[in-house]
Amino acid sequence: MSDSLLDVRNLRMYFYGSSQVVRAVDDVSLSVREGEVVGIVGESGSGKTATALSLIRLLPPNARIVSGEILHKGKNLASLEETELRKIRGAEISMVFQDPMTFLDPLMKIGDQISESISLHQGKTSDLKVKVVDSLRAVSIPSPEKVLDYYPHQLSGGMKQRVLIAIALSCEPSLIIADEPTTALDVTVQGQILELLKTLVRKRRGLSLLLITHDLGVVAEMCDRVYVMYAGKIVEEADVSSLFKEPKHPYTQALLTAANSIYFVGREMVGIEGVVPDLTNPPSGCRFHPRCQYAMPICSEKEPILIDIGTSRAACWLYPKK
């Protein structure tokens, strides 16, 4: 995979509590190609956000990357010096977060929050203000010259998310990691933000998007390729049409069924039966086996690995290795 922009190999990231270890990301491998929109989908607690934060090591002090590589343009981000990593954050790889209400500094003007990124990575140039206005315009914010002087509390949720996207875009990164970028927004605004992200990826050459979501609807609309995560592991990888047409892993199938029933009951969330396992002490063998309707004896004994099944890959004992 020489055209990979980001190549993650066997990544493990654990949280260390006072007496226990949470294996939030457990042997995850994934890749993102240039210009591609890749989704990571899973229930909350599946480790998808932890995976996203691990990629640029935005981790709390009690978290540690235990092993694995995060290769980006010839550099291994997993072992890079913190000072070197800071040059990549916001410049090469930037992030868009879940709740725009709380991810902007409440005491700083919008314009300053954008120019801060630009001057950090590109230096203080004379056309700084032009660049700031351009990045606001790029995310379709009306009258950007005025918005520069606004404080975050003067903007609506959708506008704030646009500002956060503008900040993420401001240094022309090669990859944007978006963690549930629309979950906290109104339904009508959700569509607009997704549309914006989609156009941006299409228009900007060399921009890729890694989209973290629990919403299969968003996946269907946005992604080229999808990883399904469960309990800190990737259980299935597929291009988006195969995933919806022929889901291989029982967990993916269950997610799809649940998503369809969500469709029927409107906005009421209907999950899969059972609970996401406790990652301090995950089930033996396949981690999904306690909730799996096809569970066999081997499922609790040996851990399945990802194998090719047609155009997809899945980790499940239902598919014997040929």
Partner 1 sequence: MGGKEPSALANYVVRRLLEGIPVVFAVLVLNFLLIALYPGDPAQILAGQEATPQYLQQIRIIYGLDRPIYERFFDYLWAIFHGNLGYSFFFQEPVTSLILQKLPATLMLLGTAMVIASLIGILMGVEAARKPHSLRDGVVSAVSLLGYSTPNFWLGQLAILLFSVNLRWLPVAGMTTLTQQLGGLAYVADVLRHLVLPASVLGVYQVALIAHLQRGSMLEVLRQNFILALRSKGLSERSIVYKHALRNAILPVLTVIAFDISALLGGAVLVETVFDWPGIGRMVFDAIIAGDYPVITGTFVVVSIGVVMVNLVTDVIYALVDPRIHYR
CB of 304 to partner 1, least distance (A): 34
Which two three-digit tokens encode residue 67? 């092993």
Q: With contacts defined by CB under 8 A, name the span among 32-40, 69-77, 89-97, 194-202 that binds partner 1.
A: 89-97
CB of 48 to partner 1, least distance (A): 16
Which two three-digit tokens encode residue 293? 């309707």
Member of 34, 69, 99, 224 binding partner 1 (CB under 8 A): 99
CB neighbours of 287 closer than 8 A, spacing ≥ 6? Answer: 230, 231, 232, 233, 277
CB of 95 to partner 1, least distance (A): 4
CB of 53 to partner 1, least distance (A): 8
Name the strands in the sheet holding 75-76, side by side, starting at the edge strand that comes first in the sequence: 21-33, 4-16, 63-72, 75-76
Which residues within the stretch 188-247 sit at the binding site for partner 1 (CB under 8 A)? none
Q: Are 157 and 100 in contact (CB under 8 A)?
A: yes
Question: Terminal CA-to-CA distance of the chain, rounded, Å?
Answer: 24
For partner 1, give the closer residue by CB, 30 or 167.
Answer: 167
Integer-rounded Cα Rg, in Å, for the chain is 20
Member of 107, 187, 265, 269 binding partner 1 (CB under 8 A): 107
CB of 218 to partner 1, least distance (A): 21
Which two three-digit tokens encode residue 141? 């914010």
Member of 42, 47, 68, 90 binding partner 1 (CB under 8 A): 90
Member of 102, 156, 261, 284 binding partner 1 (CB under 8 A): 102
Q: Are 182 and 141 in contact (CB under 8 A)?
A: no
Q: Are 292 and 250 in contact (CB under 8 A)?
A: yes
132-136, long-range: CB < 8 A, 24+ apart? 132/170, 135/166, 135/167, 135/169, 135/170, 136/110, 136/163, 136/166
CB of 226 to partner 1, least distance (A): 23
Decide if residue 97 touches partner 1 (CB under 8 A): yes
Member of 17, 20, 58, 125 binding partner 1 (CB under 8 A): 58
Number of shown-chain residues binding partner 1 (CB under 8 A): 32
Decide if residue 172 touches partner 1 (CB under 8 A): no
For partner 1, give the closer residue by CB, 71 or 101.
Answer: 101
Which residues within the stretch 134-163 sit at the binding site for partner 1 (CB under 8 A)? 146, 149-151, 153-154
The closest alpha carbon to 24, from 260, 275, 279, belongs to 279
For partner 1, give the closer residue by CB, 108 or 296.
Answer: 108
What are the DSSP E strand ranges found in the chain? 4-16, 21-33, 37-41, 63-72, 75-76, 93-96, 175-179, 208-213, 225-230, 233-239, 307-309, 312-314
Q: With contacts defined by CB under 8 A, name the span among 81-89, 123-131, 250-258, 293-301 that binds partner 1.
A: 81-89
Decide if residue 184 touches partner 1 (CB under 8 A): no
Binding site residues, partner 1, CB under 8 A? 56, 58, 83, 86-91, 94-95, 97, 99, 102-108, 116-117, 120-121, 146, 149-151, 153-154, 164, 167
